[in-house]
Amino acid sequence: MALAQRKIDPTAEILGRIERYWDYRSSEFSKLRRLELQSENAAQWLKLLQEHLPTGGALNILDVGTGAGFFAILLAAEGHRVVGIDMSKDMVHEAKKNMLAAGCRAEFRRMNAEELDFPDEYFDAVISRNLTWTLTDVMEAYREWRRVLKPGGVLLNFDSDCGRTVFSKQGQQSCIHATLSREMLAECNAIKDELRISTHHRPEWDSKFLRSLGFSVECDSNVAPLVHRDQKLRYDAIPLFAIYAVK
């Protein structure tokens, strides 16, 4: 009798591909974030965050999809208690190295943004940058982020409507994808096109769903002019929206 074929979990398969992609990019991505920490962008990002974070001293903050630790470092330096999580083990390694170099203190853990290992109502703020376009289930992620937020806590999400974009090298060294091989660029586009979030018009979809969860939501369609000040750094060409949601 022929051996039964092993069933493949499609979610686990795409999660593995996403993790491998960001593991591959971790070193170059970390170099870019270190440059950004030393640029005028850092002060502009901190100003924008502070305008929307709760007031009243040191906060418990969850940085979801921390990557190389950019947000975590900015906020830890201000005295906040920050936990940064990322599904990529190599990104978590880079974040730890960058935090040590910055002389700050934060906790970094490898964790799925859609399955948080934290108690209910634990954080004053949940923040994220350029993450939700890569998630397999953004609705579940938002539910989880709401669960761990204290009443009155804020969710700050900075992302782009990548679903209708085809990432390319664009023939420019200033392009964010300029250092990627053609194979990895093709994989980036293939992963993006398989994700359900790519079918939604954003940030309108996000705002509507967050309101259905009981959040009070404000949105800015493009904060890139505010925070992408250093022209020596590489950026995506598409607008960077901001969602400010209060539980």
What phi, psi does 112 have (nearest 5°)?
A: -80, 130
Q: State the greatest distance between any 2 C-alpha atoms of the chain, in Å, as a whole number.
A: 68
**Cβ atoms < 10 Å from Cβ of 99:** 23
Answer yes or no: pTM beyond 0.85.
yes
If 0-12 CB within 10 Å is exposed, 13-18 middle and 19+ buried, where does residue 139 land? middle
The DSSP letter of residue 180 is S
What is the spatial distance between Cα 223 and Cα 213, in angstroms, rounded to a whole number? 24
Return the amino acid letter for 173: Q
Task: Please report the pLDDT score of residue 9 as a whole number.
Answer: 62
What is the spatial distance between Cα 52 and Cα 41, in angstroms, rounded to a whole number? 17
For residue 46, give every residue at least 6 positions away whose Cβ sits within 8 Å of its Cβ, in sequence order, or none: 74, 75, 78
Domain ranges of the chain: 16-246
Per-residue pLDDT of the chain (247 residues; tens, 9 = 90+): 344 444 446 688 999 999 999 999 999 999 999 999 999 999 999 999 999 999 989 999 999 999 999 999 999 999 999 999 999 999 999 999 999 999 999 999 999 999 999 999 999 999 999 999 999 999 999 999 999 999 999 999 999 999 888 876 654 444 566 667 888 888 888 999 999 999 999 999 999 999 999 999 999 999 999 999 998 887 878 899 999 999 9
CATH second-level architecture of 16-246?
Answer: 3-Layer(aba) Sandwich (3.40)
Residue 35 falls in which region: left (phi positive, over 0), alpha (psi -120 to 50) or beta: alpha
If 0-12 CB within 10 Å is exposed, 13-18 middle and 19+ buried, where does residue 12 land? exposed
Give the Å distances, CA to CA, from 162 to 73, 101, 153, 167. Answer: 26, 32, 27, 9
Euclidean distance between the first and final Cα of the chain, in Å?
A: 57
